[in-house]
Amino acid sequence: MLTSLLLLPFLATPQEPISPELLETVGKKAVTSAEISADDLRLHIGYLASDELEGRGSGRRGGALAAEYFVSQWKRLGLKPGNGKSYLHEFEVNDREKGKRIKLTCRNTCAILPGTDPKMKDKYLVIGGHHDHAGLGEPMTGGMGAYGEIHNGADDNASGSSGVLELAEYFTAHPLKHPILFLSFSAEERGLLGSKAFVKDKVINPKKMLAMINLDMIGRMRDDYLFVGGMGTAKEFHEILDPVFAKSSLNLDLSDKGEAPSDNTSFYHGGVPALFFFTDIHDDYHMPGDDADGILYDEEVQILNIVKDCAIALDQVKKLKFTSNDGMGMPPDFMERNMMHFQHAMERKQKLGKLGVTPEEGKEVIKAKKVREDSAADQAGLKAGDKLLSIEGRAMVTILDMRRALGGKMKGETVEVVYSRSGKSHTATITLQ
């Protein structure tokens, strides 16, 4: 989910090639059932939120792997490509690398399940969620841990995008009269850029969309609380969906407002009635601790069954009247929770350990350009000009390697640093300050 917090400048990581070995693993795990199931969600989220994907940073290696995973699932289900002959919709975003402006290529994915009623062929029900997250903690994408820590984003938003996969699995076996457009978005964390590009480029003309359902952070429901925004963006939503919600035992919080810091907003501004399903932020929001073992899988199944019933109810109508309803539709305590969480993240950053070395990239290793006086490195005997060979067993080739090795280490923790001086190798155990 797009963070609403202040973002800080950072040194961007380069786009990296995807190894054939990793691509071979994509989409190989079989799902257990065409029905919505916790076991299927564990498979999808387990892959998307694995360290292998390095937080699914948009425009980065992990984000590309996530897009490939969704394409593999669309193909497995036999869905039609949503962008002509392609399941991908590419767009570029601005970034910075070593002080220079660069362009990164990001990829949305899109697939179509045809409807059973030919008269409805030009009225798509859209179900989507973003597959990207904060990568290695880059502040540009809202990472609130240390730069270098993997932010797996199991809830944000492997939970929502995996829910899209589960609904695609279900509706492939139980098709609706309307065609369904299934979407996974990149660059949501950069400012809803993927969904904005999809609507702007009219990959599928918004005028052909009946309604949009956005799933963002639906994996950690507390006290049976589920927020549904956008209920006032179609004149008929309450009449159609209130009976569905009345059958649920969950603590439902409905808002008519059409905007949110998530991808439904792009469709709302494109004139499409859009709903937003969300279970609120938590202590691991945009933090390195948002891992797959924190997901409440059975509870997510409950939510997806409500979404499924909403889609079935909407399938009974031929058209909806879009209604403008500006304003942030979010839980009443969202901003308070957000600010408290921001304070928590800042307090954690103040406890992060520092080595005290200003690095400089060389051809094969990085050098200590400067060693701060009285720093941890200085007290361990490192000097400017020393070549850093490894930290905690990780070879030092780029500054990112250094960030990865030190990311998340706290003051008082020790790290083993191997360095060379005048051609001789040395090993130091250094207590971070």
Give the mean model confidence (pLDDT) for residues 114-126.
97
* pLDDT band with cut points at 50, 70 and 90 for residue 98: confident
Share of the chain above pLDDT 90, in %: 87
Task: Determine the pLDDT at residue 230.
Answer: 98
Task: Determine the pLDDT at residue 7.
Answer: 31
Report whether pLDDT(8) > 70.
no
User: Distance between CA atoms of 175 and 168, rounded to whole angstroms?
Assistant: 9
Fold topology of 357-431: Pdz3 Domain (2.30.42)
Task: Determine the pLDDT at residue 24.
Answer: 52
Task: Determine the pLDDT at residue 27.
Answer: 47
Task: Determine the pLDDT at residue 17.
Answer: 43
142: amino acid identity, one letter: G
- Between 17 and 416, the more confident residue is 416
- Structure tokens belonging to residue 234: 């179609």
- Structure tokens belonging to residue 323: 């209604």
Task: Determine the pLDDT at residue 14.
Answer: 34
- Structure tokens belonging to residue 174: 């139980």
pLDDT tens digit sequence for 64-84: 999 999 999 999 999 999 999
Give the mean model confidence (pLDDT) for residues 194-200.
98
Give the mean model confidence (pLDDT) for residues 117-124.
96
Contact 315, 125 (CB under 8 A): yes
Residue 350 main-chain phi, psi, to 5 deg: -70, -20
pLDDT tens digit sequence for 299-358: 999 999 999 999 999 999 999 999 999 999 999 999 999 999 999 999 999 999 999 999
pLDDT tens digit sequence for 50-65: 999 999 999 999 999 9
Report whether pLDDT(252) > 60.
yes
Report whether pLDDT(13) > 50.
no
Task: Determine the pLDDT at residue 12.
Answer: 31
* pLDDT band with cut points at 50, 70 and 90 for residue 32: low
Q: In the 8-state DSSP scheme, what is residue 178? A: S
User: Distance between CA atoms of 143 and 191, rounded to whole angstroms?
Assistant: 13
Q: Sketch the domain layout of the chain as residue ranges.
A: 20-346, 357-431
User: Distance between CA atoms of 419 and 328, rounded to whole angstroms?
Assistant: 52
User: Distance between CA atoms of 182 and 179, rounded to whole angstroms?
Assistant: 10
Task: Determine the pLDDT at residue 56.
Answer: 97
Long-range Cβ pairs for the range 80-87 (8 Å, 24+) = 80/111, 80/112, 80/113, 80/114, 81/110, 81/111, 81/112, 82/109, 82/110, 82/111, 82/112, 82/181, 82/182, 82/183, 82/203, 82/204, 83/110, 83/203, 87/111
Any residues with CB less than 8 A from the CB of 210 and at least 6 apart, and which? 123, 124, 125, 126, 178, 273, 314, 317, 319, 320
Burial of 67 (0-12, 13-18, 19+ CB in 10 A): buried
CB-CB neighbours of 283 under 10 Å = 14
Report whether pLDDT(112) > 80.
yes
Report whether pLDDT(175) > 70.
yes
Residue 239 main-chain phi, psi, to 5 deg: -60, -40
- The hierarchical CATH code for the domain 20-346 is 3.40.630.10
